[in-house]
Amino acid sequence: MFGFSLVCCSPSSLLPCSPGGVCCRDCLHAGLRFRKSGLHPGPVTACLRSREQALVLRVIVHDVNELTEKLFPIVEAMQKHFSAGSGTYYSDSIFFLSVAMHRIMPKEITQIIQVDLDLKYKTNIRDLFDEFDNFPEGAVIGIAREMQPVYRHTFWQYRRENPQTKVGEPPPDGLPGFNSGVLLLNLEAMRQSKLYNQLLEPTMVQKLTEKYHFKGHLGDQDFFTMVGMEHPELFHVLDCTWNRQLCTWWRDHGYSDVFDQYFQCEGEVKIYHGNCNTPIPED
Ligand SMILES: [Mn+2]
Protein backbone atom coordinates (compact mmCIF):
# COMPACT_ATOMS: atom_id res chain seq x y z
CA MET A 1 0.00 0.00 0.00
CA PHE A 2 1.39 3.33 -1.03
CA GLY A 3 1.05 6.54 0.88
CA PHE A 4 1.71 9.98 -0.42
CA SER A 5 3.45 12.65 1.57
CA LEU A 6 2.80 16.20 0.50
CA VAL A 7 4.61 19.25 1.72
CA CYS A 8 2.17 22.09 2.28
CA CYS A 9 2.66 25.66 3.29
CA SER A 10 0.14 24.99 6.03
CA PRO A 11 -2.49 22.32 6.75
CA SER A 12 -5.21 24.86 6.00
CA SER A 13 -4.00 25.10 2.40
CA LEU A 14 -5.69 21.74 1.78
CA LEU A 15 -8.96 23.54 1.08
CA PRO A 16 -10.10 25.00 -1.16
CA CYS A 17 -8.46 24.22 -4.46
CA SER A 18 -7.33 27.37 -6.09
CA PRO A 19 -8.09 28.00 -9.76
CA GLY A 20 -5.19 27.93 -12.17
CA GLY A 21 -3.57 24.96 -10.48
CA VAL A 22 -1.80 22.36 -12.52
CA CYS A 23 -3.75 19.13 -12.46
CA CYS A 24 -1.48 16.36 -11.33
CA ARG A 25 -3.48 13.37 -12.58
CA ASP A 26 -0.40 12.32 -14.56
CA CYS A 27 1.47 11.36 -11.45
CA LEU A 28 -1.02 10.58 -8.75
CA HIS A 29 -4.11 9.62 -10.82
CA ALA A 30 -6.38 11.13 -8.25
CA GLY A 31 -7.15 14.69 -9.12
CA LEU A 32 -4.60 16.11 -6.76
CA ARG A 33 -3.84 19.64 -7.69
CA PHE A 34 -0.63 21.51 -7.22
CA ARG A 35 0.19 25.13 -7.48
CA LYS A 36 3.70 26.40 -7.65
CA SER A 37 4.20 29.36 -5.40
CA GLY A 38 7.06 31.52 -6.53
CA LEU A 39 9.98 30.59 -8.70
CA HIS A 40 11.84 27.34 -8.97
CA PRO A 41 12.48 25.53 -6.72
CA GLY A 42 10.02 27.29 -4.42
CA PRO A 43 7.85 25.66 -1.80
CA VAL A 44 4.74 23.93 -2.93
CA THR A 45 1.12 24.35 -2.04
CA ALA A 46 -0.85 21.15 -2.49
CA CYS A 47 -4.61 21.11 -2.74
CA LEU A 48 -6.97 18.16 -2.49
CA ARG A 49 -10.62 18.17 -3.49
CA SER A 50 -11.69 17.20 0.00
CA ARG A 51 -10.39 15.98 3.30
CA GLU A 52 -12.08 12.62 2.57
CA GLN A 53 -9.93 12.25 -0.49
CA ALA A 54 -6.90 12.76 1.65
CA LEU A 55 -7.97 9.86 3.87
CA VAL A 56 -8.62 7.50 0.95
CA LEU A 57 -5.16 8.18 -0.44
CA ARG A 58 -3.50 8.07 2.95
CA VAL A 59 -2.05 11.47 2.33
CA ILE A 60 0.05 12.89 5.12
CA VAL A 61 0.29 16.64 5.09
CA HIS A 62 3.51 18.13 6.38
CA ASP A 63 3.60 21.71 7.53
CA VAL A 64 6.56 23.36 5.83
CA ASN A 65 7.25 25.50 8.92
CA GLU A 66 7.52 22.45 11.15
CA LEU A 67 9.80 20.70 8.65
CA THR A 68 12.03 23.74 8.39
CA GLU A 69 12.38 23.90 12.15
CA LYS A 70 13.72 20.32 12.25
CA LEU A 71 15.79 20.76 9.13
CA PHE A 72 17.56 24.02 9.78
CA PRO A 73 20.07 22.83 12.41
CA ILE A 74 21.08 19.88 10.20
CA VAL A 75 21.59 21.77 6.95
CA GLU A 76 22.48 25.26 8.16
CA ALA A 77 26.21 24.77 7.62
CA MET A 78 25.86 23.56 4.04
CA GLN A 79 23.44 26.26 2.96
CA LYS A 80 26.08 28.90 2.49
CA HIS A 81 28.00 26.71 0.05
CA PHE A 82 25.00 25.65 -2.05
CA SER A 83 22.66 28.66 -2.03
CA ALA A 84 22.56 31.79 -4.17
CA GLY A 85 23.86 34.89 -2.43
CA SER A 86 26.07 35.00 0.60
CA GLY A 87 23.56 34.93 3.47
CA THR A 88 22.08 31.85 5.12
CA TYR A 89 18.32 32.17 5.08
CA TYR A 90 16.17 30.08 7.37
CA SER A 91 13.58 29.63 4.63
CA ASP A 92 16.19 28.20 2.21
CA SER A 93 16.51 25.09 4.39
CA ILE A 94 13.56 23.48 2.62
CA PHE A 95 15.67 23.21 -0.56
CA PHE A 96 17.83 20.76 1.39
CA LEU A 97 14.97 18.61 2.68
CA SER A 98 16.06 15.59 0.63
CA VAL A 99 19.57 15.39 2.11
CA ALA A 100 18.19 14.96 5.63
CA MET A 101 14.85 13.32 4.85
CA HIS A 102 15.91 10.22 6.80
CA ARG A 103 16.11 12.30 9.97
CA ILE A 104 12.85 14.15 9.36
CA MET A 105 10.44 11.36 8.41
CA PRO A 106 9.21 8.77 10.92
CA LYS A 107 11.12 5.45 11.02
CA GLU A 108 8.17 3.55 9.49
CA ILE A 109 8.82 5.31 6.18
CA THR A 110 11.68 3.44 4.54
CA GLN A 111 11.62 4.73 0.96
CA ILE A 112 10.60 8.02 -0.62
CA ILE A 113 10.48 9.18 -4.21
CA GLN A 114 10.83 12.95 -4.29
CA VAL A 115 9.97 14.70 -7.54
CA ASP A 116 9.96 18.21 -8.94
CA LEU A 117 6.75 19.75 -10.23
CA ASP A 118 8.12 20.61 -13.69
CA LEU A 119 7.91 16.97 -14.80
CA LYS A 120 5.73 15.07 -17.26
CA TYR A 121 5.21 11.37 -16.74
CA LYS A 122 5.16 9.05 -19.75
CA THR A 123 4.90 5.99 -17.55
CA ASN A 124 3.42 5.10 -14.18
CA ILE A 125 5.70 6.48 -11.53
CA ARG A 126 5.04 3.29 -9.56
CA ASP A 127 7.53 1.55 -11.90
CA LEU A 128 10.20 3.78 -10.47
CA PHE A 129 9.87 2.08 -7.09
CA ASP A 130 11.31 -1.06 -8.71
CA GLU A 131 14.57 0.84 -9.14
CA PHE A 132 15.12 0.62 -5.38
CA ASP A 133 15.76 -3.10 -5.96
CA ASN A 134 18.67 -2.24 -8.27
CA PHE A 135 20.61 -0.28 -5.66
CA PRO A 136 24.07 -1.80 -5.23
CA GLU A 137 25.42 -2.47 -1.74
CA GLY A 138 26.26 0.79 -0.02
CA ALA A 139 24.11 3.04 -2.23
CA VAL A 140 21.61 5.24 -0.40
CA ILE A 141 20.19 7.54 -3.10
CA GLY A 142 19.04 6.97 -6.68
CA ILE A 143 19.53 9.97 -8.94
CA ALA A 144 20.08 10.76 -12.63
CA ARG A 145 23.01 12.65 -14.06
CA GLU A 146 22.85 16.36 -14.74
CA MET A 147 22.44 16.78 -18.51
CA GLN A 148 24.13 20.15 -18.97
CA PRO A 149 27.79 21.07 -18.38
CA VAL A 150 26.83 23.19 -15.35
CA TYR A 151 29.24 21.32 -13.08
CA ARG A 152 32.01 21.42 -15.66
CA HIS A 153 31.64 25.14 -15.02
CA THR A 154 31.32 24.98 -11.22
CA PHE A 155 34.41 22.78 -10.83
CA TRP A 156 36.57 24.87 -13.19
CA GLN A 157 39.26 25.57 -10.62
CA TYR A 158 39.56 21.98 -9.45
CA ARG A 159 39.66 20.87 -13.09
CA ARG A 160 42.45 23.30 -13.87
CA GLU A 161 44.48 21.98 -10.94
CA ASN A 162 43.70 18.36 -11.89
CA PRO A 163 43.77 18.14 -15.69
CA GLN A 164 43.25 14.36 -15.76
CA THR A 165 40.20 14.38 -13.49
CA LYS A 166 36.84 12.86 -14.34
CA VAL A 167 35.16 15.55 -12.23
CA GLY A 168 32.83 17.52 -14.48
CA GLU A 169 33.58 15.36 -17.53
CA PRO A 170 30.67 14.09 -19.65
CA PRO A 171 29.14 10.61 -19.39
CA PRO A 172 29.55 7.73 -19.66
CA ASP A 173 33.11 7.80 -18.29
CA GLY A 174 33.09 11.21 -16.61
CA LEU A 175 31.35 12.55 -13.52
CA PRO A 176 29.01 15.29 -14.79
CA GLY A 177 27.21 15.65 -11.45
CA PHE A 178 23.58 15.01 -10.58
CA ASN A 179 20.14 16.51 -11.14
CA SER A 180 17.71 16.27 -8.23
CA GLY A 181 14.45 16.52 -10.21
CA VAL A 182 13.78 12.82 -9.63
CA LEU A 183 15.13 11.36 -6.40
CA LEU A 184 14.95 7.91 -4.88
CA LEU A 185 15.69 8.20 -1.20
CA ASN A 186 16.32 4.88 0.52
CA LEU A 187 15.67 6.29 3.98
CA GLU A 188 16.57 3.04 5.70
CA ALA A 189 19.95 2.93 3.96
CA MET A 190 20.48 6.64 4.62
CA ARG A 191 19.86 6.05 8.33
CA GLN A 192 22.22 3.08 8.44
CA SER A 193 25.06 4.53 6.39
CA LYS A 194 27.75 5.80 8.74
CA LEU A 195 29.54 7.37 5.79
CA TYR A 196 26.52 9.31 4.55
CA ASN A 197 25.79 10.75 7.97
CA GLN A 198 29.41 11.75 8.46
CA LEU A 199 29.23 13.67 5.21
CA LEU A 200 26.37 15.76 6.58
CA GLU A 201 28.60 17.05 9.38
CA PRO A 202 29.65 20.70 8.93
CA THR A 203 33.36 19.85 9.17
CA MET A 204 33.09 17.31 6.35
CA VAL A 205 31.09 19.67 4.15
CA GLN A 206 33.71 22.34 4.78
CA LYS A 207 36.53 19.95 3.93
CA LEU A 208 35.01 18.89 0.63
CA THR A 209 33.98 22.38 -0.49
CA GLU A 210 37.59 23.45 0.08
CA LYS A 211 39.04 20.47 -1.75
CA TYR A 212 36.81 21.03 -4.78
CA HIS A 213 36.62 24.85 -4.51
CA PHE A 214 32.88 24.36 -4.68
CA LYS A 215 30.39 27.22 -4.65
CA GLY A 216 26.96 26.43 -6.00
CA HIS A 217 23.39 27.69 -5.85
CA LEU A 218 21.27 24.65 -6.66
CA GLY A 219 20.59 23.36 -3.14
CA ASP A 220 20.39 19.62 -2.56
CA GLN A 221 21.71 18.69 -6.00
CA ASP A 222 24.92 20.60 -5.34
CA PHE A 223 25.43 18.59 -2.16
CA PHE A 224 24.75 15.28 -3.91
CA THR A 225 27.02 16.26 -6.79
CA MET A 226 29.95 17.20 -4.58
CA VAL A 227 29.58 14.15 -2.35
CA GLY A 228 29.27 11.99 -5.49
CA MET A 229 32.69 13.15 -6.70
CA GLU A 230 34.25 11.84 -3.49
CA HIS A 231 31.99 8.82 -2.88
CA PRO A 232 30.21 7.70 -6.06
CA GLU A 233 29.40 4.39 -4.34
CA LEU A 234 26.68 6.17 -2.31
CA PHE A 235 24.61 6.76 -5.44
CA HIS A 236 22.66 4.53 -7.78
CA VAL A 237 22.71 6.36 -11.11
CA LEU A 238 19.29 6.33 -12.76
CA ASP A 239 19.07 6.02 -16.52
CA CYS A 240 18.67 9.39 -18.26
CA THR A 241 15.19 8.37 -19.45
CA TRP A 242 13.94 8.65 -15.84
CA ASN A 243 14.82 12.34 -15.74
CA ARG A 244 15.12 13.64 -19.29
CA GLN A 245 16.06 17.26 -18.63
CA LEU A 246 15.27 19.73 -21.41
CA CYS A 247 17.00 22.94 -20.33
CA THR A 248 19.63 24.09 -22.83
CA TRP A 249 20.78 27.30 -21.09
CA TRP A 250 24.44 26.28 -20.97
CA ARG A 251 24.58 25.54 -24.71
CA ASP A 252 24.41 29.27 -25.35
CA HIS A 253 26.65 30.33 -22.48
CA GLY A 254 30.11 29.20 -23.47
CA TYR A 255 29.71 25.44 -23.74
CA SER A 256 28.28 24.82 -27.23
CA ASP A 257 31.30 22.69 -28.18
CA VAL A 258 30.74 20.06 -25.49
CA PHE A 259 27.04 20.54 -24.75
CA ASP A 260 25.71 17.57 -26.70
CA GLN A 261 28.01 15.13 -24.91
CA TYR A 262 26.10 15.95 -21.72
CA PHE A 263 22.67 16.43 -23.25
CA GLN A 264 22.29 13.28 -25.33
CA CYS A 265 19.99 10.58 -24.00
CA GLU A 266 19.13 7.40 -25.86
CA GLY A 267 16.00 5.38 -25.24
CA GLU A 268 12.31 5.97 -24.65
CA VAL A 269 11.73 8.82 -22.21
CA LYS A 270 9.82 7.83 -19.08
CA ILE A 271 9.87 11.22 -17.34
CA TYR A 272 10.43 14.59 -19.00
CA HIS A 273 11.87 17.39 -16.88
CA GLY A 274 11.06 20.87 -18.21
CA ASN A 275 13.75 22.54 -16.19
CA CYS A 276 14.49 26.28 -16.54
CA ASN A 277 10.86 26.64 -17.73
CA THR A 278 11.50 24.67 -20.93
CA PRO A 279 8.27 23.55 -22.61
CA ILE A 280 7.71 19.80 -22.57
CA PRO A 281 6.84 18.25 -25.96
CA GLU A 282 3.19 17.33 -26.52
CA ASP A 283 2.38 13.69 -27.24
MN1 LIG B 1 12.81 21.06 -11.91
Q: How far is the CA of 275 from the centre of ligand 1 (A)?
A: 5
Inter-residue contact 200 to 100 (CB < 8 Å):
yes
pLDDT band at 42 (very low <50, low <70, confident <90, very high): very low
Ligand 1 center to 239 CA (angstroms) = 17
CA distances (Å), origin 122, targets 128, 268, 272: 12, 9, 8
Element (H, E) at 119: strand 119-121
| Structure confidence by residue, pLDDT tens digits, 183-221 | 999 999 999 999 999 999 999 999 999 999 999 999 999
Determine the distance separating the centroid of ligand 1 and the alpha carbon of 23, expressed in angstroms. 17
Mean pLDDT over each residue of the chain, to the nearest integer: 82
Which domains, from first to last, does the chain contain? 11-61 (no CATH), 63-277 (3.90.550)
For the segment 4-9, the average pLDDT, to the nearest whole number, is 46
Q: pTM of the prediction?
A: 0.83
Ligand 1 centre and the CA of 145: distance in Å?
A: 13
Cα 232 to ligand 1 centre (Å): 23
Distance 10 CA to ligand 1 centre (A): 22
* pLDDT bracket for residue 59 (50, 70, 90): low
Report CA(182)–ligand 1 centroid distance (Å): 9
